[in-house]
Structure 1
Amino acid sequence: MAAEYIDKSGDSIDLTVILGVYRTRSEIVRFFKLCTNYNDAECQNAADYILENITPEPCTKMESKRIRKRIEAEFCSEPWHASKTKRMVVAGICAILFFGILFFSPPAFITKLITGAATVVSETQFNNVDNGMTYEEVKNLFGGDGSLLSSYGNVEIYKWPGNGMLGSNCNVSFQDKRAYSKAQFGLR
């Protein structure tokens, strides 16, 4: 005999549709928490029962989304479009913050916090690197070790995070332990 589950409206839940729409255990548990008055343990047990004993009613992803919206709109405390509006507002705020950080130079302490680096390089420090300097001289000039990006034969390339816009950095290439090339992005 199949188990019967009841939603908040007192209607019997068609488990084949639920498994066709909510395909993972966590989604089924979320459905039961949203649409029924069952406690956590009962929601977990219902999900286990469904996954072990029910054959899903096949439906496409588009049908699944449509059915899910209809089901959740009936049981959510606010209309589906209101929560979508909130998501859009939050996404907009995040985009503004992201591009604000990307295009405006963060202070060195923020760059250090984001990258986890002990040191960041300024444009002035970078400009003071001369061909022929040793790694130790460059390290002392920058105030700390760089990350080894590449090593091939007698050539090594090191990278340091920069004090500029987000993602700013500089690379110094060493051949036979002497600087011979440098490049930078976004240093200030």
Structure 2
Amino acid sequence: MTDRTDIFAGDDPFALAQSWLQEAEASEINDPNAIALATVDADGLPNVRMVLLKEIEANAFVFYTNYEGTKGQELATSGKAAFVMHWKSLHRQIRVRGTVEKEDGPQADAYYRSRSLKSRLGAWASRQSTPLKSRAALMAEVAKVTAQHGTNPDRPPYWGGFRIIPSEIEFWADGNFRLHDRFRWTRLAPDAEWSIVRLSP
């Protein structure tokens, strides 16, 4: 597509997303890898929250969470998710929709080990999304799991990654007078060819 030049150029949307993220890492003040992740509950009512994207793979996007929390349960039930990354410093965003699968093997173990000790212990201490009596109760649980698991805790069995395998990716850049540039990549299956169209702003 001759119209797709400059910041939109390239044949691989994952490489393009990675290049945009690398640019944002140089200009965005906090958490350039933050995504607004959308899921739906059993009634189809959406939930959205900020999480940190940890990997852009050759064919997917990966983040980590507690499988027993609201998002983990909704992802496991629906098998689908969407997210948006927005960078004010670049005046750009990426929107993604697709199916999800768990990443709870060696890759999740390696990422868990890369986290700070307090974060690893926090994953054991927090029963994500459930009612909590007080912060003091949470800190007491942290002390308890610290005594139980020591300074090199294994990854909790209820904590790991989700891989989002997109069927649709949209790259958006701000334009003068609200005449934005938008390109949508779609495919019918993970191994299918991408179709790319320019969208009206």
TM-score per shorter chain, which class? under 0.3
Higher strand content, 1 or 2: 2
Relative to the length of structure 1, the TM-score reads 0.23
Relative to the length of structure 2, the TM-score reads 0.21
- Relative contact order, CA 8 A, sep 6+: which one is greater? 2
Higher helix content, 1 or 2: 1
